[in-house]
Amino acid sequence: MNKCVFTTRFKECYKEKGYTQEDVAEKLGISLNGLKNYLRTKNDKLPPLDLLKRIAELLDVDTAYLLGEIDCKKNSQQAIYDITGLTKESTSIISKHSKNYSAMFCSFINHLATTIYLEDLCDLVFEFEFMDNETVTIESKRDNKKQYYSSAFAERKILKAKIIDLFDKILDEIFNTSHYQDEETGFEMSCQLLEMIDNEEYKYYRNYELLYREISYRLEEIRCINPYEFILSFTPNQIVHEKRYTLKNMYLKNRKIEN
């Protein structure tokens, strides 16, 4: 693990939040010297897992980002970035409109990228964003200001209505297909796989190869249901030893919210 990555991202994140090191230490319930010790690049020691989780929650990022496992601050942003090829800034804006960060949301973006309405939607959004919306302010004799919108204001309202209408068509197109049911099934199967690893890992403590085989078998089942399921991006070894917390946060946490 690259300690320099952790230190750099930690500092960038708390500064973006407007926090000082004193603020961070106080909110985490640790001493300032303890915090500085974790931030020293010469010290290879990382915070313990429970503290790392609290740091991630405080800074509104995933632990995987702090540890350098992903380049976007949220796993959902990373998935959108990987699927669409959009810039990291764009994926950040998109994901902020999702109430819950989830694999299902990333799958929705994947469908959005293939809809027949995508080009029309992009054209409308582009026109909407760059249309003039200036106002003219006129002061009356009694110092009561009156605002008069340019003619483009009415056109923006019409464009906005068109965008919403087209987006509704895209939603109907997506959710009326069997693919959406496949995504729900793939999502649930992924949750069950992660639960199996937690519950039965002790059986394979001295022979992880058997566990890897079981995971591979289940991954193939998921692939048959939904080949775009996010968990399929990782090998059994990565799922068990590197990405398990990230995936559990992405799948099991959101399943609890949805239920």
Distance separating alpha carbons of residues 248 and 253, to the nearest angstrom: 7
Does a structural domain hold residue 159?
Answer: yes
Domain edge (last residue) among 175, 193, 212: 175
Looking at the fold, whether 193 and 251 belong to one and the same domain comes out as yes
pLDDT score of 259: 44
Contact 71, 78 (CB under 8 A): yes
40 within a domain of the structure (yes/no): yes
- What is the rounded distance in angstroms from the CA atom of residue 249 to the CA atom of residue 192? 14
Is-contact 190 251, C-beta < 8 A?
A: yes
187-222 confidence digits (pLDDT tens)? 899 999 999 998 888 887 777 888 888 999 899 888
28 Cβ contact list (under 8 Å, min separation 6): 35, 51, 54, 55, 58
CB atoms near residue 190 (< 10 Å)? 26
Percent of the chain residues topping a pLDDT of 70: 71
Look at residue 106 and tell me if it is in a domain.
no
135 vs 69, which has greater pLDDT?
69
Whether 83 shows a pLDDT value over 80: the answer reads: no
- Judge if 190 and 231 occupy the same domain: yes
Predicted confidence (pLDDT) at residue 150 exceeds the cutoff of 60: no
Give the mean pLDDT of 74-90: 62
| pLDDT value for 177 | 60
Where is the domain boundary, 25, 48, 66?
66
**pLDDT tens digits for range 214-246:** 999 899 888 888 877 888 888 888 898 888 888
**What's the mean pLDDT in 18-36?**
90
Name the domain boundary from 175, 197, 215.
175
pLDDT value of residue 109? 67
**Helix residue ranges per DSSP H, the chain:** 3-16, 21-28, 32-39, 49-59, 63-66, 75-84, 88-95, 103-112, 118-130, 152-175, 178-200, 208-225, 236-241, 244-250, 252-258
pTM given for the model: 0.39
Domains: count for the chain: 3
Of the candidates 34, 37, 39, 31, the one whose C-alpha atom is nearest the C-alpha of residue 15 is 39
- Evaluate whether residue 99 is within a structural domain: no
**What is the model's pLDDT at position 22?**
92
> What domain range includes position 243?
178-259
Residue 12 lies in a domain: yes
Domain assignment present for 198: yes
Which carries the bigger pLDDT value, residue 101 or residue 231? Answer: 231
